[in-house]
């Protein structure tokens, strides 16, 4: 385990501890095993530096740790070019900080760092696990079945229940998020479309 990824985990732990909605949602582990994942890059990580001016004080330590860990993280893209297009794939990525297949291992809680660049339409999708989105920087319009669309700004959050379809559109700034999952289906990927 690299020091950079350990710093991301530690900064995330502090953010969860100090943020009631995150603390309440997740059973955040104190001491977890780490695993050696091979670092992989995605084109969009070059965009992350651009969020610097939009990060509130409360999220700054985590943001700096994420930037430092870019070369060490196993960046992923759940979707194929056929599903979302090349433009989207060039501006999107995430890594699993904590979870069944994450840099740190847990079968109770999954945590992702994910970003989407400006002007993207993340189409409707769903997954069995319950989800809490927490915005670290930028903003985006979040939509979920049965709810009015909401623009989330830094430190705002949105909860998705099990298999509740949701979608997201970024505006001029793009968005950097901290995402928590819990419950059944923790290890499964999201599916495009409606449940």
- Our CB check for Zn ion shows the closer of 131 and 139 to be 131
Q: Pinpoint the alpha helices (H) of 2-153.
A: 3-18, 20-25, 57-69, 81-84, 86-89
- Our CB check for Zn ion shows the closer of 74 and 131 to be 131
Beta strands in 25-74 (DSSP E): none
Dig out the tokens for 33 from the structure. 């095993």
Binding region for Zn ion (CB under 5 A) out of 17-25, 88-96, 127-135, 180-188:
127-135
Q: Give the three-state DSSP class for 108.
A: coil
Dig out the tokens for 67 from the structure. 């930037």
Q: Is 131 in the site for Zn ion (CB under 5 A)?
A: yes
Binding region for Zn ion (CB under 5 A) out of 7-15, 29-37, 98-106, 129-137:
129-137
Query: How many Cβ atoms sit within 10 Å of the Cβ of residue 20?
Result: 9
Q: Is 96 in the site for Zn ion (CB under 5 A)?
A: no
Binding region for Zn ion (CB under 5 A) out of 3-11, 83-91, 114-122, 130-138:
130-138
Q: Taking the complex as a whole, how short is the minimal distance between the CB of residue 149 and Zn ion, in angstroms?
A: 15
- Our CB check for Zn ion shows the closer of 96 and 131 to be 131
Task: Give yes or no for a contact between 121 and 169, defined as CB atoms under 8 angstroms apart.
Answer: yes
Query: How many Cβ atoms sit within 10 Å of the Cβ of residue 33?
Result: 9
Q: Taking the complex as a whole, how short is the minimal distance between the CB of residue 127 and Zn ion, in angstroms?
A: 6
Binding region for Zn ion (CB under 5 A) out of 6-14, 17-25, 123-131, 138-146:
123-131
Dig out the tokens for 59 from the structure. 């999220």
Residues 67 and 113: their CA atoms lie apart, in Å, by: 11
Q: Taking the complex as a whole, how short is the minimal distance between the CB of residue 160 and Zn ion, in angstroms?
A: 5
Q: Is 74 in the site for Zn ion (CB under 5 A)?
A: no
Dig out the tokens for 118 from the structure. 């400006």
Q: Taking the complex as a whole, how short is the minimal distance between the CB of residue 99 and Zn ion, in angstroms?
A: 14
Contact set with Zn ion (CB under 5 A): 131
């Amino acid at each position: 385990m690299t020091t950079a990824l350990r710093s991301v985990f530690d900064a995330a732990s502090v953010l969860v501890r100090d943020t009631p909605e995150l603390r309440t949602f997740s059973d955040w582990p104190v001491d977890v095993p780490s695993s050696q994942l091979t670092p992989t890059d995605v084109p969009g990580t070059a965009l992350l530096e651009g969020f610097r001016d939009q990060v509130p004080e409360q999220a700054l330590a985590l943001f700096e740790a994420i930037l430092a860990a870019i070369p060490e993280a196993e960046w992923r893209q759940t979707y194929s070019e056929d599903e979302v297009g090349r433009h989207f794939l060039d501006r999107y990525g995430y890594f699993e900080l904590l979870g069944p297949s994450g840099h740190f291992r847990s079968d109770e809680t999954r945590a992702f760092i994910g970003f989407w660049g400006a002007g993207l339409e993340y189409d409707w999708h769903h997954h069995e696990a319950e989800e809490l989105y927490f915005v670290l920087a930028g903003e985006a319009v979040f939509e979920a079945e049965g709810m009015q669309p909401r623009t989330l700004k830094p430190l705002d959050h949105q909860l998705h229940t099990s298999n509740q379809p949701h979608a997201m559109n970024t505006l001029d700034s793009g968005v950097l998020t901290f995402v928590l999952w819990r419950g059944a289906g923790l290890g499964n990927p999201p599916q495009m479309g409606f449940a």
